[in-house]
Amino acid sequence: MNYYIRRIIVALLTVLVSSSLVFFAIRILPGDPVLMRLGESAATPEVVAQMAARLGMDVPVPVQYLHWLGGLVQFDFGNSIATGRPVAEELVKRLPRSLELMAGGILVSLCIGIPLGVVAARRPDSLIGHTASVVALVGLSAPTFVKGLILIILFSITLGWLPSSGYTPFLQDPAANLRAMILPSLTLGLGFAGVVQRVTRASLAETLNRDYVRTVRAKGVSERRAVYRHALPNAMIPVISVVGMRIGSMLGGMVVIESLFNWPGLSSYLIEACYARDYPAIQASLFIIFLVFSFISLTMDVLMGVINPRRRDV
């Protein structure tokens, strides 16, 4: 228990430090949000000063930082420079959409990656084993927009089965929401399935040769049981840690998919904010991404303890 409390404190500190780094880093970048907002030609020094004062950017950066920290504690991320509306409002709308897409992508990647990995590990020198690895490699190495376009051409344009873009809130129309989710989830999941397949294959190939699996076989249980009840659960331990690490980076990396499928999620918001040098929006989006990342790695840690009894005594 002690261990997890320590982990939570470390995670919160990490989020704080990385968010602070972001705060200063974006202010070093070229491009002034005030000028961008006003348009460089029209801006007289008086207007610029007025606008800077309204945005709270007329004080020194350390003071701005303290203001920002003060707001953070109350989950007040300030107002967007681009729209003038509270950033938090926008985040509350967009985060669930990205999380939903992420969950769909992970589900797809596990459902494809694990079986392909098992096949490749159990029959390493057979045609089916090689095929599994090649399929996974193609999924992994094909660029996201290519996979996305192929899926759109195939399933929405040619076959007309699924919508090619758009988002319907789940509460408004669950069926439409899920239908719209399928293609982006597949696009996201196919690439990640390649990673899952490779880790599963390597890890299972190793556990299949472990002494305890031989012990299980010597008990006279079926090969099936030896693989699925003993070798595979042990092989899942590295898979979980790899998935956990990659999930976090997924959230920020869904830009291509969100714009391809016109999915109004967090990544597309972050990109817009970057173009506009919308400091509060950038800071808030990254803060949320860091927070989700930490939360997921913490969850993975707990999950690992559930699977692996050796971890519980740490």
Interface residues with other proteins (CB under 8 A) are 210-223, 230, 233-234, 307-310, 313
End-to-end CA distance of the chain: 10
- Minimum CB separation of residue 214 from other proteins in Å reads 6
Cβ at position 205, least distance to other proteins in Å: 13
Alpha carbon separation from 57 to 31, 46, 279 (Å, rounded): 14, 14, 10
Q: How far is the CB of 79 from other proteins (least distance, A)?
A: 51
Least distance in Å: CB of 109 to other proteins?
Answer: 24
Smallest gap from Cβ 304 to other proteins, in A, equals 12
Residue pair 255/271 in contact (Cβ under 8 Å)? The answer is yes
User: d(Cα 123, Cα 113) in Å, to the nearest integer?
Assistant: 16
Which residue number, 30 or 309, has a Cβ lying nearer to other proteins? 309
Q: Three-state DSSP class for 126?
A: coil
Q: Are 289 and 252 a contacting pair, CB within 8 Å?
A: yes
Cα 247 from chain centroid (whole Å): 4
Pick between residue 60 and residue 309 the one whose CB is nearest to other proteins.
309
- Minimum distance of other proteins from residue 229's CB (angstroms): 8
Kindly tell me which of 142 and 304 has the beta carbon lying closer to other proteins.
304
CB of 187 to other proteins, least distance (A): 35
Separation CA 236–CA 245 (nearest Å): 14
Nearer residue to other proteins within complex by CB, 131 or 215: 215
- Of residues 185, 157, 170, 159, the one with CA closest to residue 261: 185
Closer to other proteins by Cβ: residue 227 or 286: 227
Q: In the complex, what is the shortest distance from the CB of residue 105 to other proteins, in angstroms, rounded to a whole number?
A: 28
Q: Which is nearer to other proteins, 30 or 220 (CB)?
A: 220
- Of 113, 136, 133, 114, nearest to 123 by C-alpha is 133
**Residue matched to tokens 């390649």:** 194
How far apart, in whole angstroms, are the C-alpha atoms of residue 186 and residue 190?
A: 6
Centre a 10 Å sphere on the Cβ of residue 224 and count the other Cβ atoms it contains: 8
- Angle (CA) 173 177 183, round 5°: 160
- 206 versus 272: smaller Cβ distance to other proteins: 206
The CA-CA-CA angle for residues 114, 120, 126, to 5°, reads 155
Residue whose CB is less far from other proteins, 36 or 205:
205
User: Residue 308 in 3-state DSSP?
Assistant: coil
